[in-house]
Structure 1
Amino acid sequence: MKNKLGDLNDHLFSQLERLGDEDMSPEDVEREAKRADAIVAVADQIIENSKLRLTAAKLYAEHGEGIKHMLPAIGKSE
């Protein structure tokens, strides 16, 4: 799976469109609302992980190689 943050944005907007569907029954609305809650929970974790990676990259940029041993994810692709 090679998703990007832009893909997350697309998923969130797609869910927003589903929630705005005027033709849904009350049961469908409730199901989509629960689905939206789950999507938001996962999205929040993805965003927090991205923030952590950005913080690590900033620390590396500020302090160079001396801090690299404390940041094992720097320079490794997933």
Structure 2
Amino acid sequence: MKNKLGDLNNHLFAALERLSDEDMTAEQIEQEAKRASAIVAVADTIISNADTQLKAAKLWAEHGQQIMPMLPQIGRAET
């Protein structure tokens, strides 16, 4: 997948622009609001995942290889 967090920003701003379109009917606004809610829900999950990855990277930077026994899911699988 080639999407980046910057792409997420673009999608969020595009949703905001669609919501601010003054030519939309009440039905179109309602439909767009539902769509925006779905986009936000997915965005929240993406941001949470990125935050978890950042925390793991910080732990690795601070503690190096010695952190791996406590966090095997971010490194090699144990056999």
TM over 0.5: yes
| TM-score between the two structures when normalised by the length of structure 1 | 0.88
* Aligned equivalents of 2:33, 2:46: Cα separation in 1: 20
- Work out the CA distance in 1 between the residues paired with 2:2 and 2:72: 22
> Which runs of no fewer than 5 residues in structure 2 stay unpaired?
none
Given that 1:19 and 1:29 are in contact with CA atoms closer than 8 Å, whether structure 2 keeps it comes out as yes
Could you tell me which runs of 5 or more consecutive residues in structure 1 were left unpaired when the two chains were aligned: none
Q: Which has the higher Rg, Structure 1 or Structure 2?
A: 2
TM-score by length of 2: 0.87
Q: Counterpart amino acid of 1:25?
A: T
Q: Which moved more, 1:65-74 or 1:4-13?
A: 65-74
1:28 match? 28
Equivalent residue, structure 2, for 1:54: 54
